[in-house]
A and B are shown apart, each in its own frame.
Chain A
Amino acid sequence: MKKSTMFVRMITASLMRRRSRMVVALLSIAIGATVLSGLVTIYYDVPRQMGAQFRNYGANMILTPSGDSMTLDDVAAGAACIPSDQLVGMTPYRYETVRIRETPVVAAGTDLESAKKTSPFWSVEGEWPSANGELLLGAAVAEQYRLKVGDTIEVTYTPEELADASADPATVTADEMILFDVTGILDTGGSEEDHIYMYMADLETLTGTANKADVAELSVSASGDVLAGYVERVAQGSDAVSARLVKRVTASEATVLSKLQALVLLVTTVVLALTMICVATTMTAVVTERRKEIGLRKAIGASDSSIIKEFMGESMLLGLLGGVLGSMLGFLFAQEVSVHVFSSTISFRPLLVPITIIVSIAVTGLSSLLPIRSATEVDPALVLKGE
């Protein structure tokens, strides 16, 4: 029989036939590996999870014309520079001054369906417009004109050249008028409340000009350098539009994210340290209760190195089993945390399995090294006499 065969036979016999003792050690290692693997999974998934959460704060990138103006096609071309799986929403806005009861108001033509995605924080009393001829009134506008949901209003547009032609508002003639149903009042706490929002097609009908946009808001599921990279990509991919970040959103995202990751990293480090202490304590107990056996092995001719090899072999096998168990349980742990905290599932990272196993073996090996080294100092004569 080869020495290695006997080595494996001894190690497996020790684990299998001393099951109750070994289960305690294995549990200690597996729990450590579980928490470690789970926290690392969360650590790497936090940006993705938080990115989705941050999108509730609205757009984090805006596109503006590089020159005097841009078309909707330019906006679409700019947005196409961003990977579609990262682009949560893209909303073009065109602003024009219209008149309600002969007083000027800023009207925004947009894709209202898309605006729901890029501005999820908008609070609408009533309903979002669902067809042409319906509009959303900013709360300040509604109060100014004493309008409420269900009212019908006339919105008129005066072309610039006509408005300039006469200084007297009484002589101005509306070029176009549309009757709108007010379906909702918009409450944001911001400047949006001073505007009215309608479908782009209605604004194009009112103004008589199509395919124009002043600004486009983009909600991109990325942060930090990746997001900055997309800005570069838009700059390179389109001459008509230029992209910039909404610093207010991206800066706070980056701050929150880095703090959250630092927290998870800290917890992971503490858990790793606690795991090492716990495993070291367990292995010390395991080795101490086997001092007599070590004494016997030395008495019948075992060298210190072969005793270290055998006990390290046992420890590392325990580490391997604990690591395999921990990497599986760790994923389930991370999944549970993700579902309960972020309300979404986590993606499985296959690379974490070998990493968890290697770390688990290394931690168990390192934790066992000291007690095993001290065990080799056992005097076989004293131990065998039971002293």
Chain B
Amino acid sequence: MSLLELKNVYKIYGELHALDDVSLKVEKGEWVSIMGPSGSGKSTMMNIIGCMDKPSKGEVLLDGVDISKQSAKELTTIRRDKIGLIFQQFHLVNYLTALENVMLAQYYHSLPDEKEALEALDRVGLADRARHLPSQLSGGEQQRVCVARALINYPEIILADEPTGNLDEANEAIVVDLFHKLHNEGTTLIVVTHDPEVAEVAQRTLVLRSGRLAKEVVNQNFTGQIHFDRS
């Protein structure tokens, strides 16, 4: 059974078909990129997969559960237990330290564990910045805190929406390398990006156009050991 399966999914706003009969499967441990121009339906798809929105029609099976039929409360539980979110704008709570931001996800999931949160920050190379507020961190560092927060509860799937969109090249490389590390540890990754070079490092790239799945490219050279270098 696939970890994620979309079956004939539609999202319709009046006359607009943001998603138009989309079907796809993502296997456990797979790294998939989603590309497409603005307005192609990438964000709509991410919101639906991320349990923040429901399709107008179709089925979305996450770990065997049809999330299109769940209540708002049940979707919150699924989001908390199975999904890790990484945002382009990082979205850290500005009055909480890096460590507290990571612990926030633990707080809603189960019990905050400072030691474990510190280990997560250590995994993204920020153990020494744990007591800093977001305003005292660079963009790349904030994104790494966001990654640590996304993975702290060992989610089934990590959804990253333009994770490198606001980063310079050096930080972009750090974040993509982190994705490699997570993938090698067996984490399922779905990354929405505009950047073909970031998309290409995934195992598979799905291209959306006008709400439809236009192309699917399998990266034949994927080794899982790539050190990302744009040059």
A: which residues have CB within 8 A of B?
Answer: 1-3, 5-7, 9-10, 13-14, 17-18, 292-293, 296-303, 306, 379-381, 384-386
B95 touches A300 (CB 8 A): no
Interface SS majority for chain A: helix
B111 touches A298 (CB 8 A): no
Q: Among the listed A9, A293, A379, which residue makes an inter-chain contact with B52, where contact means beta carbons less than 8 Å apart?
A: A379
**Bound CA–CA A17/B131 (angstroms):** 13
A-B contact count (CB 8 A): 73
Task: Quote the shortest CB–CB distance from A289 to chain B (angstroms).
Answer: 11
B76 touches A18 (CB 8 A): no
B: which residues have CB within 8 A of A?
Answer: 43, 47, 50, 52-53, 73, 76-77, 79-81, 85, 87, 89, 91, 93-96, 100, 103-105, 107-109, 111-114, 133, 149
Task: Quote the shortest CB–CB distance from A130 to chain B (angstroms).
Answer: 75
**Bound CA–CA A195/B103 (angstroms):** 90
Contact (A301, B112) CB under 8 Å given A13-B95, A14-B95: no
**Bound CA–CA A302/B43 (angstroms):** 21
Q: Which residues of A contact B103 (CB under 8 A)?
A: 1, 6
B79 touches A301 (CB 8 A): yes
> Can you offer 17 A-B residue contacts whose CB atoms are under 8 A?
A1-B111, A3-B112, A6-B103, A6-B107, A18-B95, A299-B50, A300-B79, A300-B80, A300-B108, A301-B76, A301-B81, A301-B105, A303-B76, A384-B89, A384-B91, A385-B43, A386-B89
Q: Which residues of B contact A297 (CB under 8 A)?
A: 93, 104, 108
**Bound CA–CA A9/B112 (angstroms):** 11
A300 touches B149 (CB 8 A): yes
A301 touches B95 (CB 8 A): no
Q: Which residues of A contact B91 (CB under 8 A)?
A: 292, 296, 299, 384
Contact (A17, B133) CB under 8 Å given A1-B111, A300-B149, A380-B52: yes
B100 touches A1 (CB 8 A): no
Q: Which residues of A contact B112 (CB under 8 A)?
A: 1, 3, 5-6
